[in-house]
Structure 1
């Protein structure tokens, strides 16, 4: 079996991922000339070009793209196998999600996984920014959107209906809470801000300004504000199951909104090759199915 030098593979993978010799050199802490030399050596070894070199930058050839994907998968497996041999600690799965999703959905369920998989540590990184899974060593990310992420796989985790909720104190002493109680100055929004507009349009309500009210950085802050009686929140039912059960929040009698926007589990295809990541993936998909029942 003929194999090229590993250093050439590393330099090619970084160049192909960034589509930039300069960016690859900065990432690898070498000169641009060193990157170019290693990529040329690899192309010479293979007997064919891997890039189309244009005035505006690099583009992978069809064969180059296939080779890049194979190299990326191989380097990932080598890295994980090396980490496993060099440490006696538990294996780690790193998950990135928003603070709201972590607090309201993921963390309350994680005890179940920890009980089943005592040899795996799940580390939850909470952020509202879009993370780079490969560069930051993140196995899975949870993203709120339409599920279209180029180069990544995605599975729906949470796609239940959006419902309006509030504290029972906000509508007391009336016993029945309806949409008639909602006032525009009491609308609570997360950073997406578009859910109330979609909901009002679906309900045929046009006398309330959907962009009024207070905007919070995440859904967790919206839910906390609703519990405190500060206004009306529009949330996925699964995120407030315990609050509804305990009476901290009540759901208004109204239509429910089905939306194409959902919480998706996002990951690179080669992530599931690793048995540790696969165990977490199987568990969280199972949990999501339980939530949809």
Structure 2
């Protein structure tokens, strides 16, 4: 009877249904994940997903999370990391900001007001450094989220380094233009982070499989395009 009971418990643990608690980055969730998420629910109608948006570091030991989408390096102890994608941040601005003089080189970029992101404090410094340009220090406003930086750029308040995949709609509508098609180099990326003791949880497995499939599809579409 004990063997039968244990087998039943194992079957219950591994069935595809259940609750999945996910921590996601706000703009990534809004711009990339949500437009695709109906497909996950269609394939996995038995899984109930709860989202929490996190900019600050998360703690799997304190918070009841099954997984988190994280930007940075895969250096979380006691976790399993799955690489999703790199972040190709390019300099963009509103057409009105560069209506008179469009930057022709990285040197020209140093004359523009620069918009900064709190979670990427060295983005502009790294971009100028990789292009052998010395920028003026301390210029430009700083914002907490990509959504705010994007709106500030659209309003003509300055140039911003924004991930191409998060601003595709704004580029297509002409609200933003690419100033120079030179992305900032970064060793960081987007990862799905899962506590080691929850990697075999069926809803986590289903989400991980779907997420990797979606990011691979995006990568292939970009390569073809």
Q: TM-score range by the shorter chain?
A: 0.7 to 0.9
Rounded Cα–Cα distance in structure 1 between residues aligned with 2:198 and 2:169: 32
The one of 121, 133, 142 equivalent to 2:48 is 121
Rounded Cα–Cα distance in structure 2 between residues aligned with 1:115 and 1:250: 36
Measured against aligned partners, the alpha-carbon deviations of 1:40-95 in whole angstroms (never above 9, x if no partner) come to xxxxxxxxxxxxxxxxxxxxxxxxxxxxxxxxxxxxx98x84xx9xxxxx732121
Q: CA 1:116–1:246 in 2, change beyond 3 Å: closer, same or farther?
A: farther
Please report the TM-score for the alignment, with normalisation by the length of structure 1.
Answer: 0.64
Matched, 1:290 2:217: yes
Partner residue in 2 for 1:267: 194
In structure 2, stretches of 5+ residues that fail to align are 1-8, 221-225
In structure 1, stretches of 5+ residues that fail to align are 1-76, 85-89
Rounded Cα–Cα distance in structure 2 between residues aligned with 1:285 and 1:239: 18
The one of 200, 220, 224 equivalent to 2:128 is 200
Rounded Cα–Cα distance in structure 2 between residues aligned with 1:108 and 1:180: 37
Task: Flag the structure with higher helix content.
Answer: 1
Displacement of 1:286: 1.4
Rounded Cα–Cα distance in structure 2 between residues aligned with 1:180 and 1:246: 28
CA contact (8 A) 1:167 1:229 kept: yes
Higher relative contact order structure (alpha carbons within 8 Å, sequence separation ≥ 6): 2
Task: Flag the structure with higher strand content.
Answer: 2
CA contact (8 A) 1:189 1:214 kept: yes
Rounded Cα–Cα distance in structure 2 between residues aligned with 1:212 and 1:144: 25
Displacement of 1:292: 2.5
- Name the larger-Rg structure: 1
CA contact (8 A) 1:168 1:249 kept: yes
CA contact (8 A) 1:177 1:251 kept: no
